[in-house]
Structure 1
C-alpha cells in the first residue's frame, strides 16, 4: 500500500499535483495501541492483521490512504461512521462536511469516542516547528488511527481515512 502525508496534499494547489510530487509515507509518531494507555479492546498483532487486511498500515501504523481510494469518502446518506477496529461510533452523517479532497471531513466526533495525540513529522532535531505538528485522532476504545485534525479551507476539521471507518446507514 502506498501512503502519503495528508497535510502535504491539502497544502498543494491540487490533489493530483500533491500526490505526484509528494509520494512519501506518512506514519504516526506512536503507532496505534503501542502507547501506555489501557484500551478496552486489545488484540495481538496477528489478530489485527487478520481483521484489517491491507488497511492494517492505516489503522495500526498511522498511514494515510490515497485520496478518493475509500468507497465511503463521498458517502452522503444518513447514518453513522463506526471504527473499523472495534465498532465504536466515531461520527454521525450530520457532522460530515463534503469537500472534494478525497478523504472524509467532519466538524466533530461523537462524545467520548476519541483520543488525541500530537503527531510531529519531519526533522525536529533542531527545534520543534509548530507548522509540522498535527493533532492525530485515535479511537478511544481500541487505539486505531482515524486521521488528523487540520485547518482545511479556514475550518478546523477532522480529516479521516475512509479505511478507518465502517458506514452504517440509518434505518
Structure 2
C-alpha cells in the first residue's frame, strides 16, 4: 500500500494578487506591440486540420495579418475597426473561417481591443504564452498569459486575461472576419 500525501501549493494567489498582476499586465500592454507568442502558429506539435506553407499563409493573409495570426503578434491598441463595433453578428477565424465568437458574448470596455466572455464551443485551443524575458528574469513570469488560437488552423487570436474583475478573451480584430446579423 502506498501512503498518499496531499499536495499543497507552496504559495497562494488571492484575488488582490490576481488583480494586481492583471493591472501590471495591462500597464505593460501598450509596450506589447512587438511581443510575439512563444510558439509560432502550427509549430506546437498538434495536428491541425488546415495547414499551409509559410508562403501560402503570407499570400492569403498579407504581412500585417500574417504577423498576428501566424507569428502571434499583438495588434496596436485601437488598430482594429471592430474594437468599438458592438453589432450582433458572428466572428470567424480569418485563417480558415471557423466560427469562433458571436456578438452576444462581446463585452464593452474602453481598452480598444475586442473582448468576449467565451468562444463558440470547440473552436479554440489554449497555450501558455511566456514572455521571452521570463527565462532570464523570473520576475517577468507575472506577465505569463493564456494564449488562444484556432483549433482548426492554429491562427493566433489573442489571450485570456482578467479585465475589470472578469475573465475575458482579449482578441485581435485582425484575427477575425465579422459578419453582421441580418436585420
Change (3 A) 1:119 1:169: same
- Whether 1:95 aligns to 2:105 is yes
Q: CA deviation at 1:136?
A: 0.1
- Give the TM-score taking structure 1 as reference length: 0.86
Q: Which residue of 2 aligns with 1:10?
A: 26
The runs of 5 or more residues in structure 2 that have no matched partner are 1-22
The runs of 5 or more residues in structure 1 that have no matched partner are 1-6, 13-17
Are the counterparts in 1 of residues 33 and 74 from structure 2 also a CA contact under 8 Å?
no
Q: Secondary structure at the match of 1:97?
A: coil
Are the counterparts in 2 of residues 107 and 158 from structure 1 also a CA contact under 8 Å?
yes
1:81 paired residue among 63, 71, 91 = 91
Q: CA deviation at 1:10?
A: 2.1
Runs of 4+ in 1 over 3 A off after TM superposition: 125-130
> How far does the alpha carbon of each residue in 1:133-155 deviate from its partner, in whole angstroms, 9 at most, with x for none?
10000000000000000011111
Q: CA deviation at 1:124?
A: 2.1
Once residues 75 and 24 of structure 2 are traced to their aligned partners in structure 1, the CA distance between those partners, rounded to angstroms, is: 13
Change (3 A) 1:137 1:68: same
2:161 paired residue among 150, 153, 161 = 150
> How far does the alpha carbon of each residue in 1:28-76 deviate from its partner, in whole angstroms, 9 at most, with x for none?
0000011100000111101100111121100000000001111111111
- Give the TM-score taking structure 2 as reference length: 0.80
Which has a greater percent of helix? 2
Q: Which residue of 1 aligns with 2:12?
A: none
Tell me the C-alpha RMSD between the 2 structures: 1.9
Q: Which residue of 2 aligns with 1:4?
A: none
Change (3 A) 1:105 1:124: same
Q: Which residue of 2 aligns with 1:3?
A: none
Count the aligned residue pairs. Answer: 158
Change (3 A) 1:154 1:49: same
Q: CA deviation at 1:78?
A: 1.1
